[in-house]
Structure 1
Amino acid sequence: GSTGMVLGSLLGGVLAGALGWGSVFFVNVPLGLIGAGAAFFFLPADQPSTAKTRLDIPGAVTSTAGILAIVYGMVQAPEIGWAAPGTLLPLLAGIILLVLFVAIERRVASPLVPLALFSNAGLRTGTATTFVFMASFGALPFFITIYLQQIAHVDPLATGLIFMLPSACVLLGTMIGGRLSNIWSSRRILALAWSVGAVGTILTGIVMAARGPVLLGALPFAVLSLAQGVVFTVMYSVATAEIPAADQGVGSGIATSGQQIGGAVGLAVLVAAATAAGHTTVGALTLDFTTAGMAGIVVLLLLGLLIAASVRSSAQAAVEAPHEDRKATAVN
């Protein structure tokens, strides 16, 4: 994944510069077809199952549509206002759909998301971490790209080249996170990584606000990217470490969903807050917009630090796991 980030940064700049920004969507079509075709050759065939279960289609539809409606409403708000029908109606529809989703999951025989799993403290903490991770670290490329191309007037190819360094640092950070997991607790690693990420973001934001040299901002950007890679590795370990083997697939799916939803909701909220704080619109982005966006990301990184403080040690998990298993059984 990190290697894909490095290549994508470069090739994305090439495509955007040569064919326009829309080309970065079309290139996913052949890549997706290659991935689908490769699955038939590299993935083992499905084994016949005796379990009489069906895919929870109502749950899938209501959850996806509900999240989509909420994100759409948040994206519309900076342009048309929070009180506009185009904002309020999608938000209301999204809330209703998500309430309906929870009701469906409580009653369906094979729920898409077994609600009993949320009695697991590790999964709750890990999913909260994945949500905040993508809402904060995941939003950085948006605001930094806006700054580079619309304020510093760096062309798309050069912007892609600039992003290769932090992308490579994310790759290095994932390996560092894996090594640290062998000697430190997850709480300690996450606390350090979130702190380094916050400091790096503050320094990057200061360089941007002062319109400093792009190369000057590259150093703190690289440092916070190392921290990003560390958090990425450890957060999934926290989310799934206490999940029973039979529920590992669902548990990791919940954590990954938290990451994807966090990216969509987090960016929508940050853009809305930045446009309000910067007294601008999405169509006329200014330095105040990027500065406010970076400040909002710092707040979210500090929230991640607070969540890290709630990560349990292995000893705590071992003591509390039997109680949580009985609790989950009772809920089921």
Structure 2
Amino acid sequence: MSSQTPVAQAAPDLSVPEPRKGLRGHPWLTLFSVAIGVMMVALDGTIVAIANPAIQADLKASLADVQWITNGYLLALAVSLITAGKLGDRFGHRQTFLIGVVGFALASGAIGLSSEVSLVITFRVLQGIFGALLMPAALGLLRASFPAEKLNMAIGIWGMVIGASTAGGPIVGGLLVEHVSWQSVFFINVPVGVLALVLGLVILKDHRAQNAPRSFDIPGIVLLSGAMFCLIWALIKAGEWGWGDAKTLGFLAAAVVVFAAFAILETKVREPLIPLRMFRSVPLTAGTILMVLMAFGFMGGLFFVTFYLQNVHGLSPVDSGLHLLPLTAMMIVGSPAAGALITKFGPRIPLVGGMVCTAVAMFGMTTLTTGTGTLAMSVWFALLGLGLAPVMVGATEVIVGNAPLELSGVAGGLQQAAMQVGGSLGTAVLGAVMSSKVSSDFAGNWTKAGLPGAPDPALKAAAEVGAVPPQVAQAPGMTPQIVDRIGTAVHDTFVSGMGLAFTVACVVSVVAAVVALFTKRGANAEAGAGVGHI
């Protein structure tokens, strides 16, 4: 492809390596080693949400403090990903990965030992930074270790680990919080980190492209970090401030201005943080957009599903996680299968098919009601997992495979950053859709439930999460019958809002299927780009 950035070719013996007989640098052992570290970070993305109520009670934290436990991690991760990928390209992905593993495990242990919520938040930010070092480096190691014809299968298994860990977080977190303590949610990362470190020291081999970057674009790092912070912060706070609020609009405007300044700067420096010529590759650009749209629907939709299962159906965190097993199982089964399909047919057909399957699943979830049974839910959850699997694998391969080898770390950071932006955007936008629908439907559902007068405005917030506050039952003159009717109004309103949110997610998935038509296999991966071994 003429718009592709050429990759310097090395001598034949320095091409993408064949599988080794020894431990050091063996492709499949490399995959196993990085999967342990990736699992630790992916699991932490959802496992902590289950522990938040226990942390709040034990440390007497405010709601804002608890929100910062999640937001601090998300901000640090999103802001640092691309810069972390560049560090891997410069100093080697093996070293960056190992530093990320050690830092993440130490920060996790420090959280478990913390007696103040401020310390928990501080170490969560450090977790995000070290997690950002680890994730792009893992992809860089896979890209350099596997020959082109086996890379898709490797990324398929890598995607399976991420999907299974993300979906399994509520189950593991629920079991640990219920039967051990909230600290155990973080302490569990310490032995996992030790295992990942030992395997990494023994197995991982450093690979660097011959024309790897030798300098840093410090102004670019500052501008990109500032732009990402403004964007993610606006998305996080939009639900609280409102989309039309001056603060939300101000941060969004600042993000646009700083992104523009970053783009201008990148055209003028000798070794830019993100060479904009990367985006001359239509497949790479399409893969990045596809990753944003996929994460929009997946993470935004999953946010409501957990409330639906726990608050509307009254399930415990562990039972909620078990109800999501069809989604997890299909991602586990589907990701390696998707890797094989993409290797044989290229990414376009599996990606389009995956997003169509995801759109059908999202549409199916608009039919969920307060009385929907486990079997019906499982069908749509399984279909969603089946649709997401090829997209997680294929979009990652398209982004990383269409980038020059010396920028594989940046490409890995771009892939992860696209997921973070898409997930934040999905949660914020679908949350706003939910809030709007709740505002328009709650009064009608209140009357329909046979309740007199107008609903208490405070109950609108309850309807947005589908839960009736416990203090309602303690109000003067309240009877079990009235409480049940209030619960009916709240649950019906939540379900109607969730249905509209899934409708929007369905439309976004259809758009993503169209974007997938512009993807293709990475030309650099096919060529077996030259690699230098350190």
1:129 to 290, 294, 298: 290
Report the counterpart of residue 351 of structure 2 in structure 1.
Answer: 190
Structure 1 pair 9/77, CA: closer, same or farther in 2 (3 Å)?
closer
Corresponding letter in the other structure for 1:304: A
2:243 touches 2:249 (CA, 8 Å); kept in 1? yes
1:117 Cα offset (Å):
0.8
Greater CA drift, 57-66 or 156-165: 57-66
Greater CA drift, 122-131 or 177-186: 177-186
Secondary structure of 1:107's counterpart equals coil
Structure 1 unaligned regions, length at least 5: 322-332
Secondary structure of 2:519's counterpart equals coil
Report the counterpart of residue 311 of structure 1 in structure 2.
Answer: 519
Task: Show the 5 A alignment for 1:163-202.
Answer: 163-202=324-363
Report the counterpart of residue 212 of structure 1 in structure 2.
Answer: 372
Secondary structure of 2:518's counterpart equals coil
Greater CA drift, 61-70 or 26-35: 26-35
Corresponding letter in the other structure for 2:322: L
1:193 touches 1:228 (CA, 8 Å); kept in 2? yes
2:362 aligned with 1:154:
no
Structure 2 unaligned regions, length at least 5: 1-160, 443-459, 465-493, 528-534
2:293 touches 2:512 (CA, 8 Å); kept in 1? yes
Greater CA drift, 280-289 or 6-15: 280-289
Report the counterpart of residue 44 of structure 2 in structure 1.
Answer: none
2:304 aligned with 1:143:
yes
Corresponding letter in the other structure for 2:253: L
TM-score, normalised on structure 1? 0.81
2:430 aligned with 1:222:
no
1:293 Cα offset (Å):
1.9
Secondary structure of 2:403's counterpart equals coil
2:427 aligned with 1:267:
yes
The percentage of counterpart residues that share the same residue type is 24
1:79 Cα offset (Å):
2.6
- Whole-Å Cα distance in 2 between the matches of residues 289 and 27 of structure 1? 37
Greater CA drift, 284-293 or 151-160: 284-293
Secondary structure of 1:188's counterpart equals helix
Secondary structure of 2:214's counterpart equals coil
2:170 touches 2:317 (CA, 8 Å); kept in 1? no
2:402 touches 2:521 (CA, 8 Å); kept in 1? no
Task: Show the 5 A alignment for 1:222-261.
Answer: 222-261=382-421
1:74 touches 1:272 (CA, 8 Å); kept in 2? no
Secondary structure of 2:371's counterpart equals coil
- Whole-Å Cα distance in 2 between the matches of residues 300 and 89 of structure 1? 26
C-alpha deviations, 1:28-54, integer Å up to 9, x for none? 86378547744445434688x997723
2:221 aligned with 1:68:
no
Report the counterpart of residue 94 of structure 1 in structure 2.
Answer: 255
1:66 touches 1:93 (CA, 8 Å); kept in 2? yes
1:170 touches 1:225 (CA, 8 Å); kept in 2? yes
C-alpha deviations, 1:52-105, integer Å up to 9, x for none? 723333323322332222232233233332333332332233223222222332
**CA RMSD in angstroms, aligned pairs only:** 3.2
2:509 aligned with 1:301:
yes
2:287 touches 2:396 (CA, 8 Å); kept in 1? yes
2:211 touches 2:406 (CA, 8 Å); kept in 1? no
Greater CA drift, 163-172 or 54-63: 54-63
Task: Show the 5 A alignment for 1:24-43.
Answer: 26=186, 30=190, 34=194, 37-38=197-198, 39-43=200-204
Corresponding letter in the other structure for 2:169: G
Structure 1 pair 88/176, CA: closer, same or farther in 2 (3 Å)?
same
Structure 1 pair 214/60, CA: closer, same or farther in 2 (3 Å)?
farther
Corresponding letter in the other structure for 2:508: L
1:264 Cα offset (Å):
1.8
1:114 Cα offset (Å):
0.6
2:264 to 95, 103, 115: 103
C-alpha deviations, 1:88-129, integer Å up to 9, x for none? 332233223222222332223321111111111111111111
- Whole-Å Cα distance in 1 between the matches of residues 278 and 191 of structure 2? 34
1:25 Cα offset (Å):
7.2
Structure 1 pair 44/190, CA: closer, same or farther in 2 (3 Å)?
closer
- Whole-Å Cα distance in 2 between the matches of residues 28 and 96 of structure 1? 42
Structure 1 pair 25/297, CA: closer, same or farther in 2 (3 Å)?
farther
Higher-Rg structure is 2
TM-score, normalised on structure 2? 0.53
Structure 1 pair 82/201, CA: closer, same or farther in 2 (3 Å)?
closer
- Whole-Å Cα distance in 1 between the matches of residues 178 and 375 of structure 2? 21
1:71 touches 1:268 (CA, 8 Å); kept in 2? no
